Amino acid sequence: MSTLSSKLKVTLDEAASDQVGLTPVSGKVSRAPAWTWPSGSGAGQADRIYTAAITIPPGEETLLNLGDGSLTDMFGAAIVFTTVRALYLTNGATNDGPILMGGGATNGWPGPLLSSNDGLTVRPGGAAVCIAPDLQGFVVSAGLTDVLRLVNNGTVPGTAELILIGTSG
């Protein structure tokens, strides 16, 4: 049986300066929150990770079932998520349109959205990171709300990178 230890870190460093009258003014913002999940299925833990580089034909969708065992981990073992603790989705910089996550798949997984009919747009070169470290996380209910829908709204094949960290039970 494999074990999993995960850490996701987001870093923001910003500096600004201006002249106010005769006085130079500057400010700085620096944040680097990090989330760590030791192996397990309780609050603050994760025991499954799914990573994929996905190419979506123009104007089409890719459906990923998070709860039926059709996804596999890096060892080729089937993954059945019951919760997702972290979602990381990028849209390739060379794509000419947004990647839409969500938006009405049958048995759609709402994940971080309010409902499975809602959508999240990731612009070309952009990313979305959603984190739910608590016990509930983003719930996956096999056969009910377990299908993650990705749509390429561009005119060329779109590339996306998807990482899901979560639990199996």
CATH of the domain at 71: 2.60.120.10
pLDDT tens for residues 29-87? 999 999 999 999 888 899 999 999 999 999 999 999 999 999 999 999 999 999 999 99
Cα–Cα distance list, 45 to 38, 157, 165 (Å): 5, 36, 10
Confirm whether 145 is domain-assigned. yes
3-class SS at 124? coil
Is the sign of the CA dihedral 110, 149, 169, 1 positive or negative?
negative
For the chain, the domain total comes to 1
DSSP state of 101: E
Tokens of 16: 């600004």
Q: What is the mean pLDDT of residues 141-160?
A: 92
pLDDT of residue 103: 67
Confirm whether 11 is domain-assigned. no
Say whether pLDDT at 162 is over 60: yes
pLDDT of residue 99: 96
pLDDT of residue 78: 94
